[in-house]
Amino acid sequence: MLARRGGWESSASPFLCAALRLLLVTAALPSLVTAVTRKNLKPAAVSPWRTLSGDAPSIVAKGGFSGLFPDSSEYAYKFSYVAGSPDTISWCDVRLTKDGKGICLPNLVIDNCTTIGDVYPDGKTNYIVNGETTSGWFSVDYDMKTLLPVSLKQDIYSRSNKFDGIFPILTVDDLVEQVKPAPIWLNIQHDLFYRQHNLSMRSYLLSLTRHVILSHVSSPELGFLSSIAGRLKKSKTKLIFRFLGEDTAEPSTNMTYGSLLKNLTFVKTFATGILVPKHYIWPVTSNGYLQPYTSFVMDAHKEGLEVFASDFANDAMLSYNYSYDPLAEVLSFIDNGIFSVDGILTDFPITPSEAIGDDVILDS
């Protein structure tokens, strides 16, 4: 198992303070005030949500609060519960190690998000991934033991590097231990790549589900999702088909995601929901202006599919129509009077927490 560098409780305060300071810098405070005001005005009764179930939309924290701490780190996961809703779903991008262990890391090429290049300077290789030569460090070349000295770092360079080199890589089981009893969403990509390395995501996942209850499993690979659909049918786990760019070919069928989008009836045969880039729902022009919403959420709801929207980040370029307010952006997806997505995948889970009006426990 991984060496821990002190528990959350004992070592949290210096980091927490730094984190809170950063949060203030990223202007979370004014929005907090807004959230409190709105909450007080909201009537307590009937559900106003236009989600498929009528429940409030889910908040899915991509690698935890990855806008602040390194993606998939212990503090990133824990801080999303400190700063946001207790119902937040922890998202892990699963990669397999050489010895078949599942670890959470945001990219298939792991040199930007970890210190592996410093620890194993000669580890760079080239592999073919979905037909394209890709170069860098890959988890399939390392077993769990050789990954112990490797730690996580922020892979988006405009974000704080204050927490780089501190947190160990987490296995999925580590994550489960740390966020218990919060729900867990595993995103599984590149099944074909792991198979070329004689590793089976399917066997890994099915053996994991014997002792871990997963709320969601997503994949952009149709072949993979349908291969586990039968086995997970009786479980509570929701299977989500992830759409990538419209022109990208889905690797197991070679159909583009754009063409699969027109066949949601077919998608419904192996998935209970879909995850799409947010511009599928609210397109943005190349010069940053918002276009009218598409009928996408309504169409998917008609098929009985839940819709999750991805790519939310408070420090990314927003459409000008939101006047630089990430809260306004989230509200346009969940509270526009016409439709609501069923969940938001974000690097800053505090923002949908505020938008939904869940309790934000951030006492100064």
Ligand X SMILES: *[C@@H]1O[C@H](CO)[C@@H](O)[C@H](O)[C@H]1NC(C)=O
In the block, residue with structure tokens 């009528």? 54
Cβ nearer to ligand X, comparing 60 with 105: 105
**Which CB sits closer to ligand X, 81 or 312?**
312
The residue range among 4-12, 170-178, 227-235, 286-294 that interacts with ligand X, by the rule CB under 6 A, is: 286-294
> CA triplet 7, 10, 16: central angle to 5 degrees?
95
Q: Least distance to ligand X from the beta carbon of 269, Å?
A: 8
Instruction: Give the per-residue contact string, 137-156, with ligand X (x = CB under 6 A; - = no).
Output: ------------------x-
* Of residues 87 and 141, the one with the C-beta less far from ligand X: 141
Q: Which stretch binds ligand X (CB under 6 A): 29-37, 145-153, 165-173, 283-291?
A: 283-291
Region 193-222 residues binding ligand X, contact defined as CB under 6 A: 197-198
Distances (CA, A) of 68 to 33, 133, 162: 20, 31, 9
Q: CA torsion angle for 323, 327, 331, 332 (degrees, to 10)?
A: 30
Find where tokens 């810098």 sit: 25
Nearer to ligand X, 120 or 266 (CB): 266
Residue from 290, 316, 328, 362 binding ligand X (CB under 6 A): 290
Residue 123 to residue 298: CA distance in whole angstroms = 48
292 makes contact with ligand X (CB under 6 A): yes
| Binds ligand X (CB under 6 A): choice among 16, 22, 109, 206 | 109
* Contact call for residues 232 and 220 (beta carbons, < 8 A): no
56: closest CA among 254, 351, 334? 334
In this structure, the number of other CB atoms found within 10 A of the CB of residue 125 comes to 12
Task: Kindly indicate which of the ranges 168-176, 202-210, 289-297, 343-351 contains the residues binding ligand X, using the contact rule CB under 6 A.
Answer: 289-297
CB of 107 to ligand X, least distance (A): 4
152, 71 in Cβ contact below 8 A? Answer: yes
Residues 323 and 88: their CA atoms lie apart, in Å, by 26
Contact 249, 256 (CB under 8 A): yes
Can residue 321 be called a binding residue for ligand X (CB under 6 A)? yes
Q: Decide whether 58 or 114 has the Cβ nearer to ligand X.
A: 114
Q: Is 254 in the site for ligand X (CB under 6 A)?
A: yes
Q: Which of 107, 115, 200, 256 binds ligand X (CB under 6 A)?
A: 107
Residue 336 CB, nearest approach to ligand X (Å) = 10
Question: Least Å distance between CB 110 and ligand X?
Answer: 9
User: Toward ligand X, which CB reaches closer, 134 or 209?
Assistant: 134
List for the chain the helix, strand, coil content (%; round to 5). Answer: 35, 20, 50
15, 120, 266, 322: which one binds ligand X (CB under 6 A): 266
Among the residue ranges 165-173, 273-281, 284-292, 299-307, the one whose residues contact ligand X (CB under 6 A)? 284-292
Residues 23-82 that bind ligand X (CB under 6 A): none
Question: C-alpha distances in angstroms, 132 versus 73, 128, 251, 302?
Answer: 29, 5, 12, 37
**Residue span 154-173 as binding mask against ligand X, x where in contact by CB under 6 A, dash where not:** -x------------------
Tell me the Cα Rg of the chain. Answer: 20
> Which of 329/358 has CB closer to ligand X?
329
**Contacts with 2 (C-beta within 8 Å, 6 or more apart), sequence order:** 148, 168, 169, 170, 171, 174
Chosen residue from 30, 231, 289, 302 binding ligand X by CB under 6 A = 289
| CB 197, min distance to ligand X, A | 5
130 touching ligand X, by CB under 6 A = no
Query: How far apart, in whole angstroms, are the C-alpha atoms of residue 176 and residue 179?
Result: 6
Beta carbons of 92 and 63 less than 8 angstroms apart: yes
Tell me if 326 sits within 8 A of 348, measured CB to CB. Answer: yes
Size of the site for ligand X (CB under 6 A): 14
User: Residue 269 pairs with which residues in a beta bridge?
Assistant: none
What six digits make up the tokens of 355?
A: 């938008």
Q: Which residues of the chain form contacts with ligand X (CB under 6 A)? A: 107, 109, 112, 155, 197-198, 254, 263, 266, 289-292, 321
